[in-house]
Amino acid sequence: MDTKHIQISDFNYPFPAERIAKFPVTPRDHSKLLIYDHGVVNEDVFYNLPKHLHSGILMVANNTRVIQARLHFHKDTGALIEVFLMEPAVPSDYEQIFQTTGHCSWLCMIGNLKKWKEGSLQREFTVNGKSLMLKATLDRERSAHSATGTNYWVDFDWDDPSTSFAEILDSVGELPIPPYLNRATEESDKTTYQTVYSKIKGSVAAPTAGLHFTNQVLEAIERLGVEREEVTLHVGAGTFKPVKSKEIEGHEMHSEFICVHRHTLQNLVKHNACAFAIGTTSVRTLESLYYVGVAIALNPTANEDQLHVEQWAPYDLPHNDEGLVVVNGSPITPVQAINNIIDWLERDGLEALHTSTQIIIAPGYKYKIVKMLLTNFHQPQSTLLLLVSAFVNGDWRKIYDYALNHGFRFLSYGDSSLLIP
């Protein structure tokens, strides 16, 4: 299959707007669960997920945490300007930027940019009983093009050296719920739009397949003998970017930061590089690991930047009929690829892999690591639907027809599906 020339119109389906779940069910584990097991479709309730799993599998989830990335400022004229944090600039490390005091810089999307021609924006607020002034200054010359459009360099300054940027966001930032919910963010979203295992701040959208889990469900899964690991992929606004090109070759994937710890890689090897992925972000992380391991095989002295996974790498690299990349005449197995990363980390005394990925997974792609997938129901003509189609060998219509005909709720706050191809 020539993946690059897939017509996105082949991945359309009738999608009534009333199927978009504007709020989650309560409790969160009472959502519906579609089961696709080797072509057979049934349904259950999410809290029964453990009944459909078995001991010995490795479950991998994304522990990213959504930040309150929307900041609103009013100009003296009364014009409202929205500054939407996209990715850290100075410092460029996610963990460090939230700990900064006094000053930091971000690449941002700007709402109502035409009203912000010059000067700084200011906003007064209170943190821990102290009155502070936050100043935002736009540097147009340092803007950067990305897959989501132009990201503008914004310098933030505040007048209290004891207050971190994380505290500022907690005080004045707004949680960026998906635009298709078509409603304002509510106080309840601060809890419901985070997974119960979220830890690492950095996303502007939630890894929504994980929203259904409660601590009780996680405990039941562990009692079953399922091992759990976590990875980090910070989800960008590009996750909502529609495919506008006729063929997917014209669609640019946004780059996403990933972090995977050495002990997680070692556990993957112990499980023969086979995993049950919670959500499409975990899929993109796990499948990207294979190509990071291939990059190390091709260049053992590569630095982290050189380990970035390009969008079309899975399709452009020479591979055999199983989809395994061939290096020096031999196919690289998933276990070899993971071991390459472990060796690379150990050589430099590193505990975790930090890199980025633009991987696009679409029909024609052969999965290397993910053997089971939990995911919500996605928009028509989206890259996420392409990923699902590739996973179930093109059988996505059976799944979506069942969901549409049996009252399933769609998108971020909607129901989920357990896919076992």
Instruction: Give the other-Cβ count within 10 Å of 301's Cβ.
Output: 8
Q: Based on the fold, state whether residues 99 and 118 are members of the same structural domain.
A: yes
Give the pLDDT of residue 242.
79
Give the pLDDT of residue 241.
75
Alpha carbon 262 to chain centroid, angstroms = 20
Q: Of 109, 139, 174, which one is at a domain's C-terminal end?
A: 174
400 lies in some domain: yes
Instruction: Give the other-Cβ count within 10 Å of 159's Cβ.
Output: 12
Q: Which two tokens stand for residue 218?
A: 């996680």
275 lies in some domain: yes
Q: Based on the fold, state whether residues 321 and 264 are members of the same structural domain.
A: yes
Q: Based on the fold, state whether residues 217 and 348 are members of the same structural domain.
A: yes
110 lies in some domain: yes
Contacts of 43 (CB under 8 A, 6+ apart): 32, 33, 34, 35, 402, 406
Q: Of 145, 174, 203, which one is at a domain's C-terminal end?
A: 174
CA distances from 184 to 83, 175, 366 (A): 16, 10, 40
Q: Which two tokens stand for residue 151?
A: 């990201």
115 lies in some domain: yes
- Which domain, by its residues, includes 140? 69-174
Q: Based on the fold, state whether residues 154 and 105 are members of the same structural domain.
A: yes
From 280, 236, 258, 213, select the one nearest 355 (Cα to Cα): 258
Question: Which stretches of the chain score pLDDT less than 70?
Answer: 144-149, 240
182 lies in some domain: no
The model's pTM is: 0.94
Q: Based on the fold, state whether residues 211 and 323 are members of the same structural domain.
A: yes
186 lies in some domain: no
Query: What does the alpha-carbon distance between residue 105 and residue 380 come to, in Å, rounded to a whole number?
Result: 36
340 lies in some domain: yes
Task: Please report, for the domain that includes residue 357, its CATH number.
Answer: 3.40.1780.10
180 lies in some domain: no
Q: Based on the fold, state whether residues 375 and 304 are members of the same structural domain.
A: yes
pLDDT in tens, 246-263: 999 999 998 899 999 999
Q: Based on the fold, state whether residues 262 and 140 are members of the same structural domain.
A: no
Total tally of structural domains belonging to the chain: 2
Task: Please state whether beta strands 80-90 and 130-146 pair in parallel, antiparallel, or not at all (unpaired).
Answer: unpaired
Q: Based on the fold, state whether residues 228 and 93 are members of the same structural domain.
A: no
